[in-house]
Amino acid sequence: MTPVRLDSKQWRIVAIAGMAVLVIWLVIGLSRHEEAVEVRTAPAIYADLNQEVTTNGTVIPTSEFQARANFPGIIEKLYVELGAKVKPGQMLVSMRDPFATARVATANSALQAARAGNENTLKGGSQDERIAMAADLQHAEQSRAEAAKSLASLKQLKQRGAASAAEVTAAEQKLEAANTTVEMLREKSGGRFSKQDVRSAAAHVRDAQEALNSAKLQFANANITSPMAGTVYAVQVTAYDFVPMGGDLLRVADLRSVEVRAYFDEPEIGKLQAGQKVKITWNGRPDRVWHGHIKQAPVAAMALGPRSVGECIISVDDSKEDLLPNTNIMLTVTIQQHHHVLTVPRAALRTDGPSNYVFRVVDGRLQQTPVVPGIVNLDRAEITKGLSGNDVVALNAVDNRSLQDGLAVRTGHGSDAGGGLGRLLRMRILGPGQR
């Protein structure tokens, strides 16, 4: 067979075509190299998942006594120190008022005298007066009996002519006078005081009682005692300090029973309910964690500076007098808690309007898969529908490029960055149709 000879023009065409094919292959190769993107992936795993809300709050005692100055004056003496344990009725602080004790004693004497006078009024007089009245009545009754006996004897004598009519008349008058004396003494012993006298005596007792109460109040104002058992957790004054009326002197509280007042931002108010569990931490005791529950959920939103918040009261269940009043603490409220549910990292869940989806790695390609999320927290998201426990999902591209449905992937070097939650794979994504 005779070989075909090409002229110079044909050779030029062949050379140009070859160069074109070479350029095309170079472009394809470079394009393939530029589109290669590393991404991170993670498996869907079963785990316990909590949805939590975190904020700060202030510790407040549930039972507290605030000792305040009831009049302007000078502190005479402090009977307790900061941190002291006190009992009900124990003296805390006294202010300078030298006449307080004398006023109480005087008012008490006046009350006793008023009570005695009222009792005498109700019984018809004092005991001595009642004894004297009884003796007078007895003597009058004896005199009347003698007058009656004498009159009877004179009447018998008159019938026999041994007594005159004048003697009988005189005896009758004597008996009448004796009867009058007896009736007068009986009336006097039974109704010596009028109703007005009785009301006046009772009013005098009430006035004396009010005077004593006032004196005791003045004494208490100057000598302040604790109405409860607790711990002195704040002392605002020292001896010889001058304090104005209403000045804060010291505070006593039962530190075994404390609460937390916290403020939550408005979007979180609707998630809070009474009884939800709370974890409490305090920088002053970093080694200690307290536990509690929501006692009163927010009932309204209010302005707090630039924020719109709801106030929440939280009961502390395990305080051991180590969570101090007025300290600022951090608290975490567990809104929801699901056990052994299918989860993916939060970064894998994507949202497009009302729709939620993830990118699954299926047969070497990314597949956009609609899902239904459940609990979502800062780290992970619960998937209630759309995934199974064998699925692997893409998180993000290493160079922050956007992921697309249908992109082919090539598995790169793996790395365990899941902390036991799954092995993150490093994949290389290529364009459609490339292997």
Rounded Cα distance between 196 and 204, Å, is 12
pLDDT of residue 175: 76
For the record, the structure tokens of 375 come out as 């609990």
Burial class (CB in 10 A: 0-12, 13-18, 19+), 425: buried
CATH architecture of the domain formed by 53-62+254-338: Beta Barrel (2.40)
Residue 167: predicted pLDDT: 76
Quote the pLDDT of residue 355: 92
Q: Is the dihedral of CA 175, 176, 177, 178 positive or negative?
A: positive
Beta strands 355-362; 350-352: pairing state:
antiparallel
Query: In this structure, what token pair is assigned to residue 392?
Result: 């692997």
Nearest to 80 by CA among 228, 232, 223: 232
β-pairing, 289-296 with 277-281? Answer: antiparallel
pTM recorded for the entire structure: 0.55
Domain locations in the chain as residue ranges: 37-47+339-430, 53-62+254-338, 67-95+224-252, 108-216
For 67-95+224-252, CATH gives 2.40.50.100
Residues of the chain with pLDDT under 50: 1, 32-34, 36, 412-435
**383: which 2 tokens?**
């998937």
Structure tokens at 377: 């927290």
Sole residue written with tokens 């941190």:
83
**Integer-rounded Cα radius of gyration of the chain:** 52
State the pLDDT at residue 315.
95
Which pLDDT belongs to residue 79?
95
How many CA atoms, within 13 angstroms, populate the side-chain half-sphere of residue 65?
18
pLDDT of residue 98: 60
| Alpha helices (runs of H) in 321-423, residue ranges in sequence order | none
Give the separation between CA 64 and CA 257, rounded to whole angstroms: 10
pLDDT of res. 44: 94
**H or E element that contains 168:** helix 165-190
pLDDT at 17: 73
Chain-centroid distance of CA 207 in Å reads 41
pLDDT at 216: 72
Q: Is 13 in a helix, a strand, or coil?
A: helix
252: how many CB neighbours lie within 10 A of its CB?
26
Say if domain 37-47+339-430 classifies as CATH 2.40.420.20: yes
